[in-house]
Each structure stands twice: as C-alpha cells, then as structure tokens.
Amino acid sequence: MSAADDLPEARFFRGGVRLPALPPFDRGQAYGDALFETLRAHRGELPWWDAHWARLTLGAQRLGLALPDPERVRAEALELLAGADAVLKLILSRGAGGRGYAPPARAEPVWTLSRHPLPPPPRAGGLRLRWCELRLAEQPALAGLKHCNRLEQVLARAEWDDPDIDEGLLRNVAGEAVCATAANVFVLHGRQWTTPPVDRCGVAGVCRQRLIELSAARVAAVAADELQRADAIFLCNAVRGILPVARLGERQWAPHPAVAELRRRLGDAHPAFVPGDD
C-alpha cells in the first residue's frame, strides 16, 4: 500500500483533450457554475466510482451541464492515482463562456482531476463538534447537489480556528440540524438512526446514501435538541467514512456499539473504511 503523501497534482481537460491549465473564462471560476466529487481511492482503485458518477450525472441534469465520457474520466483518474491510497477530486464545469449568466448553447464541459494526500486520521475517541452560527439558506433548486457554490461552507468553517474543534454543525433557518461543513450527520435514538433531509439545503452525500441503506435510517428533520438527546451521533463523508462524535459543546458521548457495528458494515462496502484500532 503506497500513500500519496506527495503534493497535490491537478490535470485539466476540455471534452476529451488535456489542457495545460484551466482555460480562461471558465464558468466554474466565474460563477461556481460547476459540480464536484471527492472520492476515496484505495490502492489506486475507486470502489464507489459508480455512486459518485451517478450523483454527478443527476447534478449535471439539474444544472443542464454536459458530461464528458465517463470511461475517459475514470481512466484518467486511475492513471493519476497510480496505485495510491489518496483522495481524488473531480470538478466538472459548464465550460467557457463570455460575460453573462445565460448558459452558452454549445459549451464543452471542462473537467479537472486532482490527487490529494489522505486526510489525517480522525481524533481518537471521537470528534469534537461545535454549532456554527451561520444558518444554511434554503434553495430547493440547488439542494442536494455537490455544486461549486460553497461560500456558506467556507464562511461556516471560518467561524473557528480552535484546533480542539474538529467540525461544525450547520442548522437551517428553522434551527434544525442539517449537516456539518464537510460531512453529513446521523443521529441515534434507541435503535433508530435518523439523518436530515437534503431537499432544501445540504448535500446528498454518497456515503450518507450508503449508510441510509446499511442502517435503515429514516430521513427526517432533526431539531437541535433532539440531537443533544441522541444516544449516539456520527458524521460521514466519502473520503473518511464514519466519524464517531465524542462531544458537541458540553454534551459528551461514549463510544456506542451501534456505531461500531455500522463501521464494520461500511468497511465491507469500501476497503478504505475497514475500522482500525482507533
């Protein structure tokens, strides 16, 4: 197992042609008119490729973006990974356009692949969270998509620089918990897992979807105080799998066997998420 601990590397393409850099007038740069996917690679393979591509396809349909050839993208991704354990990021933009919001009629999609080192292992014993002040705006036309309009997440993540805090939970305007800045959230009451809906804000995470199936979670609003009363909570994303939570403000949780059980099951679904000794 080789670790991609080198510097990140990015490659740019328009349609099927590799480019030396992002071309000028890219609508991703201009308007965030783009989607992205972040995939966990294991020994150079992308076990959840199909699920990521399916989400990208759905997002492209909703935004009216053209898709490049999936086989070409996957082949380039695998070449870039070169066998490594790493994070692969794909940005798909609508392509070049002049000034003005009107989507160009025949823009060729521009896509960027980049390889990044694995994130550091999560804090032993579980994450420490805070509530973010920023409330997520409700925009059903964009909710669920992993689009590149991410200033809300940037502002929320900028609310703290205390290294003792690992992640921040975000609420909607009604005060319900939606997600963390870069992860979805699952909440356990008794034997029932719940995760908030993502049809008004939030991202429909690939790992979230897998875990809804593995845990028979219901998708329902989670008031902030329900979260405080939960028997266990965890965060999840497709780069880090399940991240058990140990603390949210004053509230603390001991490790819970239901989380350990789900981590085992997730390890069966993606070899990079086989639980270690943490």
The contact set with a second copy (CB under 8 A) reads 8, 10, 12, 20-34, 36, 38, 63-64, 87, 89, 91, 93, 98-103, 112, 114, 116, 134, 137-139, 141-142, 147-158, 173, 181-182
**Chain mean position to CA 139:** 18
Q: Which is nearer to a second copy, 25 or 258 (CB)?
A: 25
Q: How far is the CB of 210 from a second copy (least distance, A)?
A: 21
Q: Which is nearer to a second copy, 12 or 234 (CB)?
A: 12
Place of tokens 């989507």: 103
- Residue 5, Cβ density class (10 Å: 0-12 exposed, 13-18 middle, ≥19 buried): exposed
Q: How far is the CB of 61 from a second copy (least distance, A)?
A: 13
Q: Which is nearer to a second copy, 184 or 194 (CB)?
A: 184
Q: How far is the CB of 52 from a second copy (least distance, A)?
A: 15
Contact 84, 44 (CB under 8 A): yes
Contact 198, 204 (CB under 8 A): yes
Q: How far is the CB of 247 from a second copy (least distance, A)?
A: 20
Q: How far is the CB of 113 from a second copy (least distance, A)?
A: 11
Sign of the dihedral through C-alpha 177, 180, 186, 189: negative
Q: Which is nearer to a second copy, 31 or 131 (CB)?
A: 31
Q: Which is nearer to a second copy, 200 or 247 (CB)?
A: 200
Contact 166, 129 (CB under 8 A): yes
Contact 268, 215 (CB under 8 A): no
Q: Which is nearer to a second copy, 166 or 177 (CB)?
A: 166
Q: How far is the CB of 31 from a second copy (least distance, A)?
A: 4
Could you give the CA distance from residue 195 to residue 222 in angstroms, rounded to a whole number?
7
The two structure tokens encoding residue 76: 């380039």
Selection from 211, 81, 53, 66 nearest residue 146 by Cα: 53
Could you give the CA distance from residue 232 to residue 193 in angstroms, rounded to a whole number?
9
